[in-house]
Amino acid sequence: SSREHKLNFKKSKEVCLSYIQDAMLRKQWKRAAEFLTSYIESLEKDFSREYMGPSEIIWRMGTEILCHHSHSSMKEFNSFIEQMKTLGVKRYLKVCLEHTFHLLCNGLVDEAYENLSLAESWRFGEQTAIQDKEMKLIQAYRGLLDYYSWSKQKNILLQHGQDGFEDLSVEQEMHSCFRKAAVNLKEIIKIPGVWDLFVKCYVDLLEFYGDHNEARQVLNEYAYNSKFPANPNAHVYLYQFLKRHGESKKSLISALKILHDIVPSHELMIDFNMMLQKSKKRKKRRLGLEVIFAALDYAGWKENVKAWSCLARQVKQIVISEKHLDWIKQEWNSRKDWWPTFHFSRYLAKRNWQENESLSYEKALVAGILLGKDCKYFKYISHQGCKAQMKRFRILKKFVNKHNPVYLRISG
């Protein structure tokens, strides 16, 4: 009968859990809270060796309910979490970390900092791999908060500096914040991961104290270490850093070239194209054409006026100079079977004309050169433009008609 009792207990536990779950999924927080108070009894005989035991379930569900319950306060929330911390040793760090997040999201930065320091000093036997990671995160977040107080004090100092008097204690505090922040942030960004936030802060610290080499090294490591995921932001940060420090065009281009290789649809590709178009080297201008064509392959760029004008400008240049028509031809070859329906359909002509006239102008120019003067898109737009008595459309028509043989050479 004790076996039966156990079975019944287990069963009612499960039923109770499903009630809580159902209530939560229907946003009936009060009801869920009532059920949860009954479910707490399941802690008494927690022999389960399941993946997720009742104590974790109570922590997770309780946190969620307290977040949404109309009658809960931060005080109640804190006392609940404090109890949860004592429930499971293995979960202590995780609960601490989550608690910190809650405090931060509620604007309680000081409490969060306190909480993190407390968690950092916690020791219990040997740490598992997961706990190790959690500990590193706790330290990193503490470093982040140190960084924020550093930047606060920096702002105060800068302001005071403008006002003309110095404050030594603030400055000292600021430096100590820097040290604490730098140590912790430096640690976390060594481990493979996505650390945009920490890297940015760390680089900011280093730059402020003039340690550009270290900053560059950190950014290079973050962008190029193969153990890290291919994070386009890493390349963006590097590019921005290089740009800030007035690095040569060459190094900027090489940074963007890598970004282009991993994310051809990145917004920076417009800057990249403009940079390349201005270049005197043929090879770079060629790359520029490639970059802008590749960007316009993506659905997200379909209505990007800037990108279309970049392409229109470069194509126009090439057509006028009548040099390097083979560049266009080569780019066009792999696109001619689908760009006409993707970019230059009659439907899009109508819509672009209605919604964005300048977009339709740039696209019509490209269409007229790539597909000839009989292409649907060009015909529709130039017709509409001429009908509306717009000068630039008339010029456009003339230009395309004049350079129609180019189309034959490209498509041939």
Partner 1 sequence: TLFPSYFGAGPPREEGGPAPAAGWGELGQVLEAGPGRCQAQTTFVPRRGGTGESWEPADAAAVPLLPPNASCWVPSLAPQDILYRGILRRKLRAGRYGAALDFTKQLSHFFVDHPEDAFGSLGQLLHKNFYLGNSKLRHPHVPWRGLRGRSCSLPQPDTSCPPRSGCSRHHVASRLRWFSHLCRDWLFEVPLGLLADCLHEELLLQWANLLFDDSPTGGALAWLPPKNTGACMGCVVYPGGQAMNHLYFQDVVLEELPRARGSPAQFELNGRIRQVAAARVDAEDFVGVRSDYHCGVWRVPGRTGAAPAPLQVIRTGTPASCLTVSPHLPGELAVCTQSGTVYLWSVETGLQQLRHDPQTMFFRDHSPWRWSDFTAHPRVLSCADRTGLQCLDARAPERCHFDLFKVGEEAGCQQGERVVLPLYLGRAHPSQHLVTTQFSVYVLDERLPLVPVLKWAHMMKAPPLFAHLTPGGPGRSHKVLLGTSRTQELLLLQYRGERRGSGRGSRSACQLAGPPQKLHSIAGCLQHLPAQLPHRHRLLQQRLSAPAAGLAAVLQEDGPRESLLVFQLSEAGDVFCQRLTHEAVQPPAPTSGDEAAAAPGSSPLFDPAAALRYRRWLRALPKGCGEPPQHSWPPTLSQKRLFTRKELEVPASPSALHEEARQRLRQAMREGGRIQHWDPPATQIPALPQPEEPAGDLDALSTRLTAAWAGDWGQWWEERSSFNMAQRQRALRERRRRQKRARGQRSLSASFTSSLTYQSELSELSDAAPLPLSPACPAVLPQEGSPPAGSPPASPPPDEALLSSQSLRCRGIPKERRKTLRDYLSVWAEGPPEPPEPPGSQASQLCIPSSQSQLSSASQTRRKRPRMGF
For partner 1, the binding residues in 42-71 under the rule CB under 8 A are 51-52, 56-57, 59-64, 67-70
**Judged by CB under 8 A, which of 195, 222, 332, 380 binds partner 1?**
195
* Residues 270-299: x where in contact with partner 1 by CB under 8 A, - otherwise, as a string: ---------------------------xxx
Q: Which stretch binds partner 1 (CB under 8 A): 167-175, 223-231, 241-249, 313-321?
A: 223-231
341, 275, 345: which is closest to 310 by C-alpha?
Answer: 275
Q: Which is nearer to partner 1, 7 or 395 (CB)?
A: 7
Residues 101 to 140: which contact partner 1 by CB under 8 A? 101-102, 104-105, 107, 109, 129, 133, 137, 140
Q: Which is nearer to partner 1, 342 or 399 (CB)?
A: 342
Q: How many other CB atoms are there within 10 angstroms of residue 341's CB atom?
A: 10
Residue 212 and residue 242 in contact, taking contact as beta carbons nearer than 8 Å? no
Q: Which is nearer to partner 1, 261 or 322 (CB)?
A: 261
Distance of closest approach, residue 171 Cβ to partner 1, in angstroms: 19
Distance of closest approach, residue 74 Cβ to partner 1, in angstroms: 15
What does the alpha-carbon distance between residue 222 and residue 282 come to, in Å, rounded to a whole number?
32
Residue 269 and residue 291 in contact, taking contact as beta carbons nearer than 8 Å? yes
State yes or no: residue 41 binds partner 1 (CB under 8 A).
no
Dihedral of alpha carbons 59, 61, 62, 66, sign: positive
State yes or no: residue 91 binds partner 1 (CB under 8 A).
no
Rounded CA Rg of the chain = 31
**Judged by CB under 8 A, which of 265, 279, 317, 404 binds partner 1?**
265
What does the alpha-carbon distance between residue 291 and residue 257 come to, in Å, rounded to a whole number?
9
What does the alpha-carbon distance between residue 284 and residue 322 come to, in Å, rounded to a whole number?
18
State yes or no: residue 180 binds partner 1 (CB under 8 A).
no
* Residues 326-365: x where in contact with partner 1 by CB under 8 A, - otherwise, as a string: --------x---x--xx--x-xx-----------------
What does the alpha-carbon distance between residue 369 and residue 12 come to, in Å, rounded to a whole number?
74
Distance of closest approach, residue 54 Cβ to partner 1, in angstroms: 10
State yes or no: residue 23 binds partner 1 (CB under 8 A).
yes
SS3 94: helix
**Judged by CB under 8 A, which of 191, 275, 386, 390 binds partner 1?**
191
Residue 2 and residue 47 in contact, taking contact as beta carbons nearer than 8 Å? no
State yes or no: residue 88 binds partner 1 (CB under 8 A).
no
Q: Which stretch binds partner 1 (CB under 8 A): 29-37, 239-247, 316-324, 366-374?
A: 29-37
Q: Which stretch binds partner 1 (CB under 8 A): 147-155, 216-224, 246-254, 398-406?
A: 147-155
Distance of closest approach, residue 123 Cβ to partner 1, in angstroms: 22
**Judged by CB under 8 A, which of 12, 28, 78, 279 binds partner 1?**
28
What does the alpha-carbon distance between residue 254 and residue 260 come to, in Å, rounded to a whole number?
10
Q: Which stretch binds partner 1 (CB under 8 A): 96-104, 241-249, 358-366, 402-410?
A: 96-104
Q: Which stretch binds partner 1 (CB under 8 A): 26-34, 85-93, 164-172, 322-330?
A: 26-34
Q: Which is nearer to partner 1, 71 or 75 (CB)?
A: 71
Distance of closest approach, residue 213 Cβ to partner 1, in angstroms: 24
Place of tokens 């350079």: 403
What does the alpha-carbon distance between residue 332 and residue 312 come to, in Å, rounded to a whole number?
14
SS3 253: helix
Residue 140 and residue 178 in contact, taking contact as beta carbons nearer than 8 Å? no
What does the alpha-carbon distance between residue 268 and residue 275 come to, in Å, rounded to a whole number?
11
Distance of closest approach, residue 86 Cβ to partner 1, in angstroms: 17
174, 236, 186, 189: which is closest to 211 by C-alpha?
Answer: 186
∠287-260-203 over CA atoms, to 5°? 130
Give me the DSSP letters along 98-124: HHHHHHHHTT-HHHHHHHHHHHHT---
Q: Which is nearer to partner 1, 334 or 411 (CB)?
A: 334
SS3 189: coil
